Structure formats: structure tokens, C-alpha cells
Amino acid sequence: MGTVGTKIVGMDVKELIKLLNKALADEWLAVYQYWVGAKIVKGPMRPNVEAELEEHSQDELKHANMLADRIVQLGGEPIIDPSEWKRQSTCGYELPKNPSVKALLKQNIKGEQCAIMTYHNILEKVKLGNDPITFNMVRKIMEDEVEHEEDLQDLLEDMKGIK
Ligand code: FE
Ligand code: FE
Ligand code: MG
């Protein structure tokens, strides 16, 4: 933790760390949601969908890294107990009971839409609290989430007409 680097944050740092840890919980659940989805997916365009899900899983892991590094930088501790992921998550984990491409895509689209809204809310808070470093990080993550939603919706769109 850097003393001045933390002092310049214009909001309650504990509160900010809590928000970032909730986002970290979301990211880890998203890593697994995509990872396991890529393993079990069945149906039309399977190779395309599998590749996209794998790629997104890697992206979510990068987000988890960014969040954890910032939490540590602010003097906080990233969640150390995986059983906290579900408890602290905002977007949760959708059990992929149906491994069809369409069902998985729909679940993951829902997850991305929740992620976009969650980061949108954090962005507002850090903007008002004037934390340009967290702002910049969250903006980068959010750009990926917006792209993720588009990628999945495009795949679903391309699948229209396929039974
Ligand atoms: Fe993410
Ligand atoms: Fe995402
Ligand atoms: Mg993609």
C-alpha cells in the first residue's frame, strides 16, 4: 500500500475495497461459468461458441487480476475464501443445467448485462469520489464486458433459424 497513493482517493477507501471485492467475486464466478460452459457446450456452431467462451473466461481472469492488484494497492485484502464468491457476488452464478449453445449463450448474456450495470455503478461512485486510477481500470474492464455482450448476442443472432 502506498500512503499518498491511498490518501488521494476522494472516497471511503474501505467502502471502495468492499465494492472491488464484490466485483472480484463476480469475476471469479464468471471465469468458471465460461470455463465450464466451454467444456460442456453442445449444438450448432459448437467450435465457434467454445472458442468464444474460452476467450471470455481468460478475459474475466484478467479482470480478476486487475481488481485484486488494485485492492492490494489500496491496502485491502482480496477475498481469500472461494466460498465467499457466491455470497458477495452481485451477478451470481447460473447453473448451466442445459448445455445447449442457445441456453449457455443466453445465461452468459445475462451475466454480461449484469456485469455492465455493476461496473457502470462503480464508475459513477469512483467518478464522484474522484479516484482516477480505479476509474480508468473499471473503464477498461467495462469496455471488455460491453464487447463480451456484443460477441454473444451476435453469435445468438447468427444462430437464428438453426434448430
Ligand atoms: Fe469481467
Ligand atoms: Fe465479461
Ligand atoms: Mg469475445
List, in order of start, the domains of the chain with CATH numbers: 3-158 (1.20.1260.10)
Residue 57 pLDDT: 98
Residue 19 pLDDT: 97
**79 neighbors 25 (Cβ within 8 angstroms):** yes
At residue 163 the predicted structure's pLDDT band, cuts being 50, 70 and 90, is low
Average pLDDT over the chain reads 96
CA angle 148, 111, 34 (to 5 degrees): 70
Find the 59 Cα to ligand 2 centroid distance in Å: 7
Task: Give the separation between CA 114 and CA 116, rounded to whole angstroms.
Answer: 5
Residue-wise pLDDT tens digits, 8-58: 898 899 999 999 999 999 999 999 999 999 999 999 999 999 999 999 999
Task: Give the separation between CA 156 and CA 150, rounded to whole angstroms.
Answer: 10
**11 neighbors 131 (Cβ within 8 angstroms):** yes
Task: Give the separation between CA 124 and CA 130, rounded to whole angstroms.
Answer: 10
Residue 162 pLDDT: 74
Find the 45 Cα to ligand 1 centroid distance in Å: 24
Find the 26 Cα to ligand 1 centroid distance in Å: 8
Residue-wise pLDDT tens digits, 81-133: 999 999 999 999 999 999 999 999 999 999 999 999 999 999 999 998 899 99
Q: Taking ligand 3, which is a single-atom ion, which protein residues have CB atoms under 5 Å away? A: 151
Higher pLDDT, 159 or 19: 19
At residue 67 the predicted structure's pLDDT band, cuts being 50, 70 and 90, is very high
Query: Which value, to the nearest 10 degrees, does the dihedral of the CA atoms of residues 136, 141, 144, 148 take?
Result: -150
Find the 161 Cα to ligand 1 centroid distance in Å: 30
Residue 161 pLDDT: 77
